[in-house]
Amino acid sequence: MTSREVYTYLKSEGIDKLYKKFEKYFTEVDTWADRFATGDLLNEYELSQALDRLTGIYMRFHIIAEAIDSYKTNQELNFKVLAFKEAEANGKKPTISQIEEEARNSTKDLRTYRSDFLSYSDACEKGIISTQARLKRQTVTKSALGVDFCGDVNAPAAQIHRQEEKKDIGWNE
């Protein structure tokens, strides 16, 4: 979703429906967090899947959180402008601090939901960093052992590994 789509969705459907629309992604982040917490992610294919999924969710949640923040700010400003105009129309002198507090109170749900999207995007980011580190460590370990080498095939270590493989299968150049 683009920021504009989030803004339009918030205006037409509301924050509750937006949250419910992405609830499955919150659950998925929780599932990956459980797997990281139990140390159950050692397989490079699962790590690659975690990296892809968490990156996609991070991208969505970060954009949505920023769009909600923008929407919230606009709502607060609109509230203040209307409150000042109403006070002037009634001939009253508005209390700035009271209007600001009422404006903030009018957007409390937006702040709460934005916080959820933002904290889950932060969790995704931590998972991405951890996954990248594990994948890199596996690649370095495999190349050092000469197992499933996936680095530069022109590197000296790769050349030695390839010669040993050829000898093992009886292939002469």
- Output the pLDDT for position 98: 86
Q: Which of 57, 59, 99 is nearest to 77 (CA)?
A: 99
Q: What pTM did the predictor assign?
A: 0.75
CA dist list (Å): 135 to 44, 48, 57, 150: 7, 8, 19, 12
10-residue averages of pLDDT along the chain (173 residues): 91 94 96 90 86 96 95 93 87 84 91 96 95 86 65 55 57 53
How far is it, in rounded angstroms, from Cα 67 to Cα 65? 5
- Output the pLDDT for position 78: 92
* Secondary structure letter of residue 154 according to DSSP: T
